[in-house]
Copies of this chain bind each other. A is one copy, B any other.
Amino acid sequence: MAPGNIGIVGAGLVGLGWAIVFARAGHAVRLYDNAPGAAAEARRTIALRLDDLRQAGLIDEAPATILARVSVADSLAEALEDALYVQESVLERVDVKNSVMREIDALVGPATWIGSSSSGLPASLYTEGLGCRDRCLVAHPVNPPYLAPIVELVPAPWTSPATLDSVRTLMQAVGQAPVTMSQEAPGFILNRLQAVLLMEAWRLVEAGLASVADVDLTVSQGLGLRWAFMGPFETIDLNAPGGIADYARRLGGLYRDIAAETTEQRGWDNELIARIEAQRREVLPEAELVARSAWRDRRLMALALHKRRMDSADAAGTDPAATPGTQ
């Protein structure tokens, strides 16, 4: 897909993350935010993030070259002009999204697709009455999208198949990993999977069966290792001699019994929240949250670089694991 104009509406953390994704891929990005100065501030943050990415070895071009593709739009109209694609990244509230989408509808050209970064609100809640509604869908990223490639594409009932196909192609072209839902469902794919695992994690602690720290270790030193480069289906497909059907026949009953047993949950009331929080604060004092978040970002960058090198070696048919020091 040839480089084009990309409009980013809403220049918070999500919007500036998207700006990096599109500018990194060669597109001209126009950042707009209705709060005065917010887009210019976001562009300064983008400059810092590009320096981090360059230092980590995650971008090949000079940060200034990529930054030069990001401009601040003084009006919504300027951000949308001749746009190939618009990424709406405003506050996660139906009334706010509704109002912004109506403004976009009045200004946008007939060939522009519009994706919403909504992490939970389906597009049907704020695009129904729009003239451009067949070109609207949810394109939900994980933060930050320039390190976590996944993007969930969720069509409203009136989203055209051509829109879904085109946005999917665009996302692949800019290096993201688009996945598609056939229709809207609460939590989309990612948060549905996260929801069930989190509910069970909380339940284990609530029942006194395990500590917060031990549940975290079980994932970070066990379950999460394969899941960082294979999904859950591929994991079980490789865990029985006859593949996934063999695995399902051996373990399906056990998993169903366990899952059925995990439905007695009282929800996260204040008392339980306080207990879980107390355990987390023993592991990490509140004063260290910011520093730990910076650590997480460094680890995510290093993991992204590691995965990129491994994927390149896979594609080239070489085995970097045989060459210590290069992966």
Q: How large is the interface on A (under 10, 10 to 19, 20 to 34, 35 or more residues)?
A: 35 or more
Q: How far is the CA of A220 from the CA of B177 in the complex (A)?
A: 10
Asked if B293 and A232 make an inter-chain contact with CB atoms under 8 angstroms apart, the answer reads: no
Residues of B within 8 A of A218 (CB): 150, 152, 179, 189-190, 193, 231
Query: CB-CB contacts of A243-256 with B at 8 A, as 1s and 0s?
Result: 11100110011111
Shortest beta-carbon distance from A39 to chain B in Å: 22
Taking A245-B274, A252-B267, A257-B186 as contacts, is the C-beta distance between A296 and B215 under 8 angstroms? no
Q: Does A106 contact B (CB under 8 A)?
A: no
From A182, A195, A245, residue with most partner B Cβ within 10 Å: A195
Asked if B280 and A233 make an inter-chain contact with CB atoms under 8 angstroms apart, the answer reads: yes
Residues of B within 8 A of A219 (CB): 193, 227, 230-232
Q: How far is the CA of A47 from the CA of B306 in the complex (A)?
A: 28
Residue in contact with A233 in the complex, picked from B212, B255, B314, CB distance below 8 Å: B212
Tell me the chain A residues, 293-325 only, with Cβ under 8 Å from chain B: 293, 295-296, 298-306, 310, 314, 319-322, 324-325
Residues of B within 8 A of A265 (CB): 256, 259
Asked if A197 and B198 make an inter-chain contact with CB atoms under 8 angstroms apart, the answer reads: no
Residue in contact with A182 in the complex, picked from B185, B209, B280, B327, CB distance below 8 Å: B209
Shortest beta-carbon distance from A137 to chain B in Å: 15
Taking A182-B209, A289-B238 as contacts, is the C-beta distance between A220 and B214 under 8 angstroms? no
Residues of B within 8 A of A254 (CB): 120, 186-187, 191, 195
Q: How far is the CA of A253 from the CA of B229 in the complex (A)?
A: 30
Q: Does A103 contact B (CB under 8 A)?
A: no
Tell me the chain A residues, 165-185 only, with Cβ under 8 Å from chain B: 177, 179-183, 185
Asked if B280 and A237 make an inter-chain contact with CB atoms under 8 angstroms apart, the answer reads: yes
Asked if B245 and A199 make an inter-chain contact with CB atoms under 8 angstroms apart, the answer reads: no
Taking A196-B197, A319-B298 as contacts, is the C-beta distance between A217 and B177 under 8 angstroms? yes
Q: Does A273 contact B (CB under 8 A)?
A: yes
Q: Does A204 contact B (CB under 8 A)?
A: yes
Q: How far is the CA of A257 from the CA of B236 in the complex (A)?
A: 27
Q: How far is the CA of A222 from the CA of B212 in the complex (A)?
A: 22
Asked if B189 and A209 make an inter-chain contact with CB atoms under 8 angstroms apart, the answer reads: yes
A residues neighboring B (CB under 8 Å)? 55-57, 120, 142, 147-150, 152, 177, 179-183, 185-187, 189-201, 204, 207-212, 214-234, 236-238, 243-245, 248-249, 252-263, 265, 267-268, 273-274, 276-277, 280-281, 283-284, 286, 289, 292-293, 295-296, 298-306, 310, 314, 319-322, 324-327
Q: Which 9 A-B pairs have CB atoms at the shortest separation, nearest pair first?
A: A216-B231, A150-B222, A224-B227, A228-B228, A57-B324, A179-B214, A252-B268, A195-B258, A177-B221
